[in-house]
Amino acid sequence: MKLLVIGGGGREHAIAKKLLADKEVTTVFCAPGNPGMKQDGIKTVSIAEGDHDKLIDFAKTENVAWTFVGPEAPLQRGIVDDFQKAGLLVFGPNQKAAQIESSKDFAKQIMRNNQIPTADYKTFSDYHNAAAYVKEKGAPIVIKADGLAAGKGVVVAETVPQALTALSDMLEDNRFGESGAKVVVEDFLAGEEFSLLAFVKDEAVYPMVIAQDHKRAYDGDKGPNTGGMGAYSPVPQISDEMVEKAVKEILEPAASGMVRNGTPFTGILYAGLIATNEGAKVIEFNARFGDPETQVVLPRLKSSLVAIITALLTDEKPEVTWHDNAAFGVVVAAEGYPGKYQKGMVLPQKTMGSTELYFAGTAEKNGELLANGGRIFLVAAQAANLEKARNEVYDALKQMSLPEMFYRHDIGAKALK
Ligand code: AMP
Ligand code: GLY
């Protein structure tokens, strides 16, 4: 069986690697992928993730059994709709269902209509109305660009002036273009964050083990928000009871609410949650796997990812079981990320012991692997417990030469306190 994964980051590396581990699978293509993936036998295909026609031609020519869409941008552009129109099997939400991520306002309406716990909010497209609301509410307060902004369209404002600057950047100076033409202003929620993902087919929800990401660039949760600097799973600070409740009160009503809304969801539904004193509340939904969560969640999947996706695509009930171990991952990024950064640094191609590398922003030249993006690669380990997995990852990182790159030293610190 041949499969196609769309996307090119560490998340897609983890998805493709898991798919390739299935004995039914002979080839996993990844378009566009990145050169680092080739070490694991993944076949990269130089077609851009936005070139739907070429991707469809490729899937037909190679006779792939189905296609898995990794990132949000092609989902928002309707890649699933286009593949389906071409008569191809594809896993991911269609354009309408992907709005649960691509429009924060849409997501908030689904939450409101289905009594899903989330922060109180209001949506604005006029600066003066938004500013008046912020002044009335006071700080801390959270300002979010309505559309997709690669994890960078959110400002957690500690003061009212900071909030006003964020509003003026988005609504008056168009810093996020169309994505910021509308903003959601929401109450600040205090508590530990965690990511709860599930395989979803219409109303059926099959939850995954939870993970915790680290969004800020630097140690001690300092610095700007990024796409994510490291993750681990399980998250012992979050009780099983809270997770079970979140499945019943958040994921299941979201899936059935999407069906009732006329926008049924098939794909990976990702709930970004905050464990408040009143239980878990939603800070965002994503319509896809998380990056870097995937690199620590999928290795813990005991059942076959291929069998799960195949079952969901053919309306059968999948078997979803998990290893009782721990997984840990630290992102290596280019100095300056998420702002301006250097490219072209030579990357390590090997790692120590049983640790693994998941590549993201890489390029290739004369047999060398070079840095070519903000988040460059992730070092991951699995072990009997988090502490062991964490030590393996940090020991491996210490052995690497990482010129003009950086990583956080405190991933998982909260879990081990
Ligand atoms: P998002 O892109 O919506 O995940 O937001 C990025 C980050 O901003 C989250 O991971 C949180 O750390 C923070 N954040 C978002 N919304 C809130 C909120 N309502 N209260 C507190 N922190 C938030
Ligand atoms: N790690 C956060 C995300 O994928 O949105």
Token reading at 414? 């909260």
For residue 127, list its beta bridge partners: none
Please report, in tens digits, the pLDDT of each residue of the chain (417 residues total): 999 999 999 999 999 999 999 999 999 999 999 999 999 999 999 999 999 999 999 999 999 999 999 999 999 999 999 999 999 999 999 999 999 999 888 999 999 999 999 998 899 999 999 999 999 999 999 998 877 665 567 889 999 999 999 999 888 887 766 665 789 899 999 999 999 999 999 999 999 999 999 999 999 999 988 999 999 999 999 999 999 999 999 999 999 999 999 999 999 999 999 999 999 999 999 999 999 999 999 999 999 999 999 999 999 999 999 999 999 999 999 999 999 999 999 999 888 888 999 999 999 999 899 999 999 999 999 999 999 999 999 999 999 999 999 999 999 999 987
How many angstroms separate the alpha carbon of residue 143 from the centre of ligand 1? 9
- Ligand nearest to the backbone CA of 212: 2
List phi, psi (to 5°) of 222. -100, 160
Query: How far does residue 229's CA lie from ligand 2's centre (Å)?
Result: 10
| CB-ligand 2 contact for 348 (6 Å cutoff) | no
Pick the CATH number of 326-407 from 3.90.600.10, 1.10.10.10, 2.30.22.10, 2.60.120.1060: 3.90.600.10
> Residue 141: what pLDDT?
97
Q: Decide whether any atom of ligand 2 lies within 6 Å of the 72 Cβ.
A: no
In contact, 209 and 199? CB cutoff 8 Å = no
**pLDDT score recorded for residue 177:** 65
Residue 278: Cβ-neighbour burial (10 angstroms; 0-12, 13-18, 19+): exposed
Token couple for 154: 């959110």
State residue 174's pLDDT score: 75
pLDDT for the residue numbered 201: 98
Residue 152's pLDDT is 60
Tokens of 79: 């890649």
What's domain 192-314's architecture? 2-Layer Sandwich (3.30)
**What is the architecture of the domain spanning 2-92?**
3-Layer(aba) Sandwich (3.40)
Task: Examine domains 126-181 and 326-407 and report if their fold is the same.
Answer: no
Ligand 2 centroid–CA 293 distance in Å is: 7
CA 292 to ligand 2 centroid distance, Å: 7
CATH 1.10.540.10 correct for 126-181: no
Kindly list the domain boundaries of the chain, sorted by start residue: 2-92, 126-181, 192-314, 326-407
Our answer on whether the CB atom of 110 is closer than 6 Å to any ligand 1 atom is: no
351 backbone dihedrals φ, ψ, rounded to 5°:
-140, 170
Which residue has a Cα nearest atom 19 of ligand 1?
188
The sign of the torsion formed by the CA atoms of 365, 367, 373, 374 equals negative
348 Cα–ligand 1 center, Å: 33
**Nearest alpha carbon to residue 106 among 123, 120, 91, 90:** 123
Q: C-alpha dihedral over 130, 132, 135, 137, to 10 degrees? A: -70
Look at residue 106 and give its three-state secondary structure. helix
Q: Which residue is closest in CA terms to ligand 2's atom 4?
A: 290
